[in-house]
């Protein structure tokens, strides 16, 4: 094993490269500022010489009216904390080198930054808009871009109180809808931008066998029973074999980040529920961690335990659901899913009793929780964790794992090797199924995860079957954590003082990350001391895991592409945000 000190310390890059790298010295900020021409060289050096081989997040911040900052977060796949560095760009004509050739995992994220800010990534292989469509007017996350229903820079809006009179936003808009066009726009002269760029991007292989074959483009989605929502894949097929494939996303783009920048810190909490809507508790957790880090507070003991219990219950129900729906995708329509959903219901009952809603829990507050466990709930969780869930996980295992059809459809399909998984920034069960034992609960423990005894599950084939196995085993580990947490949970307050609706957040930045059921779920929050965040970015595991979809699907059958997608486990709310 590597030396733990080596893994967790961040080298002094500003001393190593004094010309081009500086420390970020603004109060509350960490990391380094890299000169833009030096970016490629620096990225290469940190990957090859310093072991920062995993680019986890690429995003940008608009410091209106001065500059753009492109922010990179990296870590070592061996473990340890996050390295942050930034590149400052002018707001006029912003251009930056693409990191695609060094970290292919940046592909979709750089497209997203381009889509939202109009920052051009030079040498990016396929720089198109991703969440919006080609031809959309404006770069929505720039601070000087206003949406059609724009009311005020930040909430609370003054029209609500004390002289509030309910109006629908439509009535204030000249089109009576959520619309805004450039002045002088003539809809009759508009030629919609087709999707040629998308289809041209699908690469045909060089024909080696001398035979002339025609390729066909197949679109799956956005309305397709196997895509788990409004996801679309454009596949180039040769007979039944997928030659190339591109994910097309954005059909559920709900502008979380723009809305989040108008919201106060607390108001963002219920919105996080709706990012990964199968798994609200982990989202709450990640966001609460990020803001608590900024505020420099910690919740009381009991609250920490309840948080862990909720997060692990959430993981179990999410994995149950994925396993059931993976079987749906394989053709076992609904019986396994029904069994899985049954267990999920029992867990949702607990969420409902504790937080008030089955799915949109909105349970965490900065520095604690919304309310204590009601009477009798701990007993119910106890029953589930010690008795029912382990039994049912075993049953699921017995029902599916040795099933010959499952093994035939899953083994050896959709392979992602360990190197490629790291390069493509895959996280969560996908990364661990490819043989990289990276789990944030171990690698960079947050909350009180360092107190529990559990194993990080790893498998080595990197195919659908291993991803399925990792999930089954992870449920067992989660049940183990639950059992320990229930035994140890202390009495006490769940909140120091009284929960406030106006929280004071000092200026600075923070990146809070948790190991959600789909992998690293990160929240990047930048504050300037105002009640509203300057930047609220979600590092969404489902979205970034899709970067690897193309590679996994190549040379597989088109029917397997559906199963591979099922094994990646995307939640569209999180992909499109």
Partner 1 sequence: MVNEGLNKPGVDIPEEMQNQVAITTLDRIYNWSRSKSLWPMMFGLACCAIEMMITASSRFDFSRFGMEVMRPSPRQADVMLVSGTVTKKMIPQIVRLYNQMPEPRYVLAMGACASGGGPFKEGYNVVSGVDKFIPVDIYVPGCPPTPQALLHGLITLTKKIETEKLSEAEWYRKDFEEEIPVPILGPDLIDPRNFERIKQVSREQLEAKVLDESISTEDTL
Partner 2 sequence: MGIRGIIKGLGITFKHLFETYSEDLKQGPDRYKTAEGIQDRLSADTKGIFTVQYPEEKIPVPEAFRYIPFLIYDELEGGERDIRCTSCGICAKVCPPQCIWITRSVNPETGRPIPKPEKFFIDIDICMNCGYCAEYCPFEAIRMDHDYEIAGFDRMNHHIYDMEKLLKPASYYAKTHPVQYAEEETARLEKEAKKAAAQAAKAA
Residue numbers of the site for partner 2 (CB under 8 A)?
Answer: 155-157, 159-166, 168, 263, 266-271, 274, 335, 339, 342, 345-346, 349, 352-357, 360, 362, 370-371, 374, 380, 383-384, 387-388, 395, 398-408, 499, 501
- Window contacting partner 1 (CB under 8 A); options: 65-73, 209-217, 352-360, 560-568: 352-360
128 contributes a contact to partner 1 by CB under 8 A: no
**Cα–Cα distance between 467 and 406 in angstroms, integer?**
13
What does 408 interact with, of partner 2, partner 1, none (CB < 5 to 8 A by kind)?
A: partner 2
Minimum separation from the CB atom of position 278 to partner 2 (A): 17
Q: Give the integer Cα–Cα distance in Å for 363 and 299.
A: 13
Closer to partner 1 by CB, 34 or 337: give it: 337
Q: Does 194 bind partner 1 (CB under 8 A)?
A: no
The 3-state secondary structure of 64-119 reads CCCEEEEEEEEECCCCCCCEEEEEEEECCCCEEECCCCCCHHHHHHHHHHHHHHCC
8 Å CB contact between 276 and 285: no
Rank residues 206 and 404 by Cβ distance to partner 2 and give the closer one: 404
Say how far apart CA 308 and CA 296 lie, in whole Å: 20
Q: Give which of partner 2, partner 1, none residue 7 binds (C-beta under 5 to 8 Å, depending on kind).
A: none
- Listed ranges 120-128, 254-262, 364-372, 552-560: which one lies at the site for partner 1 (CB under 8 A): 254-262
Helix (H) or strand (E) holding 536: strand 535-539
State both tokens at 463: 């195919």
Q: By CB under 8 A, name the one of 22, 128, 274, 557 that touches partner 1.
A: 274
d(CA 336, CA 396) in angstroms, rounded, equals 8
Per CB under 8 A, which of residues 329..348 are in contact with partner 1? 334, 337-338, 341-342, 345
Tokens of 138: 């404006």
Question: Which window, 58-66, 244-252, 284-292, 515-523, contacts partner 1 (CB under 8 A)?
Answer: 244-252
Q: Which residue lies nearer to partner 2 by CB, 107 or 343? A: 343
List Cα–Cα distances, 130 to 138, 148, 181, 260, in angstroms: 14, 21, 20, 20
C-beta of 195 vs 353, nearer to partner 2: 353
Q: Which of 24, 151, 238, 397 is in the footprint of partner 1 by CB under 8 A? A: 151
The distance of closest approach from Cβ of residue 58 to partner 1 in the complex, given in angstroms and rounded to an integer, is 21
Q: Is 95 exposed, middle or buried (0-12, 13-18, 19+ CB in 10 A)?
A: exposed
Q: Which of 177, 21, 183 is nearest to 86 (CA)?
A: 21
Tell me how far CA of residue 54 lies from CA of 106, 374, 424, 499, 509, in angstroms: 10, 42, 8, 37, 21
> Residues 6 or more apart from 400 whose CB is under 8 A from it?
323, 327, 336, 406, 468
**Contact positions with partner 1 (CB under 8 A) in 56-85:** none
Distance of alpha carbon 425 from alpha carbon 422, whole angstroms:
5
- Applying CB under 8 A, does 397 fall inside the site for partner 1? no
Which of partner 2, partner 1, none is residue 143 near (CB under 5 to 8 Å by kind)?
none
154 binds, among partner 2, partner 1, none (CB under 5 to 8 A by kind): none
Residue 175 Cβ, how far from partner 1 at the closest point, in Å?
Answer: 6
Residues that bind partner 1 (CB under 8 A): 131-133, 135-138, 140, 147-149, 151, 168-170, 174-175, 177-188, 190, 192, 222-225, 229-230, 250-255, 258-259, 262, 270-271, 274, 277-278, 334, 337-338, 341-342, 345, 358-360, 572-573
């Amino acid at each position: 094993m590597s030396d733990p000190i080596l893994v967790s310390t961040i080298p002094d890059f500003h001393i190593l490269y004094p010309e081009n790298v500086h420390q970020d010295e603004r109060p509350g900020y960490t990391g380094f500022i890299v000169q833009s021409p030096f970016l490629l060289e620096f990225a290469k050096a940190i990957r090859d010489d310093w072991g920062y081989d995993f680019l986890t997040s690429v995003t940008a911040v608009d410091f209106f009216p001065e500059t753009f900052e492109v922010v990179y977060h990296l870590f070592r796949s061996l473990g340890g904390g996050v390295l942050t560095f930034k590149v400052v760009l002018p707001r006029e004509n912003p251009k930056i080198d693409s990191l695609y050739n060094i970290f292919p995992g940046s592909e979709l994220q750089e497209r997203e930054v381009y889509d939202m800010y109009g920052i051009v990534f030079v040498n990016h292989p396929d720089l198109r808009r991703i969440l919006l469509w080609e031809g959309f007017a404006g770069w929505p996350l720039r601070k000087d871009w206003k949406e059609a229903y724009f009311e005020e820079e930040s909430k609370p809006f003054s029209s609500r109180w004390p002289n509030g009179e309910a109006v629908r936003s439509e009535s204030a808009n000249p089109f009576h809808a959520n619309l805004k066009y450039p002045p002088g726009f003539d809809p009759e002269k508009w030629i919609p931008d087709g999707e040629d760029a998308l289809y041209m991007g699908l690469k045909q292989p060089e024909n080696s066998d001398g035979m002339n074959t025609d390729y066909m483009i197949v679109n799956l989605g956005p309305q397709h029973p196997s895509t788990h929502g409004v996801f679309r894949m454009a596949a180039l097929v040769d007979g039944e074999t997928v030659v190339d494939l591109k994910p097309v996303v954005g059909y559920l783009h709900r502008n979380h980040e723009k809305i989040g920048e108008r919201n106060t810190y607390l108001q963002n909490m219920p919105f996080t529920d709706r990012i990964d809507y199968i798994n609200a508790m982990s989202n709450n957790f990640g966001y609460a961690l990020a803001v608590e880090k900024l505020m420099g507070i910690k919740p009381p003991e009991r609250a920490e335990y309840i948080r862990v219990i909720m997060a692990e219950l959430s993981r179990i129900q999410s994995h149950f659901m994925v396993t059931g729906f993976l079987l749906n995708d394989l053709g076992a329509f609904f019986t396994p899913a029904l069994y899985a959903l049954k267990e999920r219901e029992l867990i949702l009952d607990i969420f409902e009793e504790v937080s008030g809603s089955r799915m949109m829990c909105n349970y965490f507050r900065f520095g604690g929780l919304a309310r204590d466990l009601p009477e009798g709930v701990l007993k119910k969780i106890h029953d589930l964790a010690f008795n029912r869930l382990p039994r049912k996980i075993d049953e699921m295992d017995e029902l599916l794992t040795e099933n010959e059809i499952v093994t035939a459809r899953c083994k050896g399909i959709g392979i992602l090797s360990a190197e490629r998984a790291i390069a493509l920034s895959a996280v969560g069960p996908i990364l661990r199924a490819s043989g990289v034992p990276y789990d944030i609960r171990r690698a960079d423990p947050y909350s009180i995860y360092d107190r529990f005894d559990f194993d990080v599950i790893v498998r080595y084939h990197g195919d659908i079957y291993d991803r399925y196995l990792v999930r089954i085993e992870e449920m067992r580990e989660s049940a183990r954590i639950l059992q320990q947490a229930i035994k140890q949970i202390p009495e006490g307050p769940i909140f120091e003082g009284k929960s406030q609706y106006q929280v004071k957040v000092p200026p600075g930045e923070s990146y809070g990350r948790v190991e959600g059921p789909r992998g690293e779920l990160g929240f990047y929050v930048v504050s300037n001391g105002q009640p509203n965040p300057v930047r609220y970015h979600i590092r969404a595991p489902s979205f970034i895991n899709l970067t690897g979809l193309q590679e996994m699907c190549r040379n597989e059958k088109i029917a397997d592409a559906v199963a591979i997608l099922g094994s990646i486990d995307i939640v569209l709310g999180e992909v499109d945000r």
